[in-house]
Structure formats: structure tokens, C-alpha cells
Amino acid sequence: MSYTYEKEMSEGGFLVRTYSIYKIKEEHLTFIFGRERKLLEMMQGCEDANEKSLKELAYICETVRFDEIATMLEAQLDSKYAHLERARNALFLEHPIKGKMAIYLVERKICVYCEGSRMLDLDLFQMLAKMSERFIAFNKQDNECGWLKPMKYTMH
């Protein structure tokens, strides 16, 4: 099933949005806050294969546990999605109106492929934001980046 799903998403003729989501270590939050674009620019020059070898990402990002994320997403989204399948470090979701989504865990990164409405992306972002305020997402194709749960920053 997963091979067919991936093939459908990549060759279906629809625009597929790709996100790289990282969980920033607590001690690096204040350094990263306000420098999100710089991090995106640094990643723009890397292919996905090289992105995981970036020492900066390894230093500032926390390891993500796929089981924890998949279990939470299954519990929250199961009733809202017509199809939900879990295989190894991958989760495949399909909503009759919103579209399809594939979620993979690679090293310290959550890779997300969405096809359809942006409401699909928001469902995922909301669920991850409930887990932690330290998730940051990058969409290199559309030059977008941002915190899934925007932080409040006060100057002292």
C-alpha cells in the first residue's frame, strides 16, 4: 500500500507540498527565534540527502520519536480521516475532501508530503503544536518557514 500511495502522490499530477519539520532543543530556542529565515536559507542549498548531514541541524534539533507522534495523530485524526495506515516509520492519511498526506521520520526530521487543501497541513500542524511548542516547519519549494505554535517573546 505505501509504495502505491507514494507513487500516486508524486505522479498524480497535483501539486505536492513538502515540509521538513524539526523539534528544536530547548536550550537553542532563544537563539533560533528570529533567525528562522537564515535556517531556511541554509537548508535551501542542500538536497534532502545532504540536509541530514548538516552539523548545525544535528546540534540544534532534538531526536523525534515516531511512535509518540504516530500514536497521538492516530488517536486525534482517526475519526476525521477515511483512511489511516501506519507502516514502520510512516503514516498515510486520506481525507475525502482535504486530500492525502504521507508522514515519514528521517533522522531528526519529520518529512511530510501533502496533496490537496492546506487544511490538511493545518490538521497536522495543530496536532504537533499540542505536543510541543518547539516544532518548526520548512517548505523549501514555497520558501516558507515558521513555528507550529508561535512563541511569545518579550524584551526585558
pLDDT tens digits, one per residue of 10-58: 445 557 999 999 999 999 888 888 888 888 887 776 655 555 556 777 8
Phi and psi torsions of 34, nearest 5°: 90, -10
Q: Which domains does the chain have, with CATH numbers?
A: 15-141 (3.30.310.250)
Whole-number pLDDT of residue 3: 37
CA distances from 68 to 1, 13, 72, 120, 132 (A): 22, 33, 6, 20, 12
Q: What is the dihedral of CA 68, 71, 72, 76, to 10 degrees?
A: 170
pLDDT band at 92 (very low <50, low <70, confident <90, very high): very high
Task: Give the predicted TM-score (pTM) of the model.
Answer: 0.81
φ/ψ (deg, to 5) at 124: -65, -45
Cβ(80)–Cβ(120) under 8 Å? no
Nearest residue to 24 via CA among 50, 65, 57: 57
At 46-72, the pLDDT tens digits run 655 555 556 777 888 898 888 888 888
What are 104-113's pLDDT values in tens digits? 988 788 999 9
Q: Rounded to the nearest 5 degrees, what angle is found at the Cα of 121, between the Cα atoms of 46 and 99?
A: 110
Please enumerate, as own/partner, the contacts of 84-92 that have beta carbons within 8 Å and a separation of 24 or more.
Answer: 85/1, 85/2, 85/5, 87/1, 87/2, 90/2, 92/1, 92/2, 92/5
Mean pLDDT throughout 124-138?
Answer: 91
